[in-house]
Amino acid sequence: MNRPRCLVSALFHNNCMYLAHRLLTLGFEHQAQLPDAPGRNQLIFVDLVQPLRALGCDVFLARLHDQRETLLKVTKESGK
């Protein structure tokens, strides 16, 4: 039952990292289609990258914390 939640949080983390990477490379990839303007090479969404990465990491680390707490509870209950 815990496996799907773990899988979903890992997928969410990976999706956030992928989207953050794509935001960084978007301007360079479509540079030829942009009109000539000063600073056109700087069309990247850097301001969105860090919050997206942080969100992915927060979700993943929260799930890892939950799993750690579950493991600690089970080991304490086992009496070892």
pLDDT (tens digit, 9 = 90+) per residue, 22-58?
988 887 776 677 666 665 555 567 889 999 999 999 9
Instruction: Locate 43 and state its tokens.
Output: 């069309």
Max CA distance (Å), the chain: 70
Consecutive H or E run containing 77? helix 46-78
Higher pLDDT, 60 or 43: 60
Percent residues over pLDDT 70 in the chain: 79
List C-alpha distances in Å: 16 to 11, 34, 43: 9, 26, 20
Give the whole-angstrom CA distance, residue 8 versus residue 76.
28
Token pair for residue 76?
């304490």
